[in-house]
Structure 1
Amino acid sequence: MRYMYCYDISNAKRLRTIAKVLKQKGIRIQRSFFICDFDYVKAIELLNEIKDIMNVHKDSIFMYGTCDACQSKVSSIGDGAFQVLEDFRII
């Protein structure tokens, strides 16, 4: 399943750290918006990893799951294009 993570982080150091974690796990769509393909358990593990970095009183992160039917309804306007994650294998 595809999960979308978007965040609002008030501290530059925490912001860079969280962006780095998300960049390792998925694709950056916009500055604070990433998509990742995981099963639910991995998606929650990533959310918990980010929770350990962020300040829960000053920062926020949202995780949205999207089903196949929802993904086919995505529209975009402007320069950015919605990224399609393709299955791959490491050999």
Structure 2
Amino acid sequence: MKSNYIVCYDITNEKRLRQVFKTLKGIGTHIQYSVFFCKLTWQELTGLKEKLEGIIDGNEDDIRIYPLPSNSKCVVLGQGDRIPEGVEMFL
């Protein structure tokens, strides 16, 4: 069963930043500058964590993966036009 996750990152090196972005773009929805929404199984999440750990420098970079409830709703203010499938909007 797939679950919803928000993945946020702060990468200090341009090359590693591009690699992290490319990795996440292949599996999630890019919703803000350093934020992705991902729908993943436990195995996919484990694989993603392993890939990202292989890219980053743990002393300089920071990646956070936050689980979301399956019935997630979001509020978008401003120019937020990328709403992930399965996430409802508060109106």
Question: Could you say which TM-score interval applies, normalised by the shorter chain?
Answer: 0.7 to 0.9
| Secondary structure of the corresponding residue to residue 80 of structure 1 | coil
SS of equivalent to 2:26: helix
Corresponding residue pairs, total: 84
Structure 1 residue ranges, 4+ long, deviating more than 4 angstroms after superposition:
none
User: Is the 2:37–2:84 Cα contact (8 Å) retained in structure 1?
Assistant: no
Secondary structure at 1:58 match in 2: coil
Question: What aligned pairs does 1:1-91 form with structure 2 within 5 A after superposition?
Answer: 1-69=3-71, 71-72=72-73, 74-85=74-85
The structure richer in helix per residue is: 1
CA RMSD of aligned residues (A): 1.4
Q: Deviations over 1:35-79 (max 9, x none)?
A: 11111221122022101100000000000111123x12x112110
Q: What is the one-letter code of the residue matched to 1:76?
A: V
Q: Percent identity?
A: 31
Secondary structure of the 2:12 match is: coil
Please identify, of 76-85 and 58-67, the stretch whose mean Cα deviation from structure 2 is larger.
76-85
- When you count strand as a share of all residues, which structure comes out higher? 2
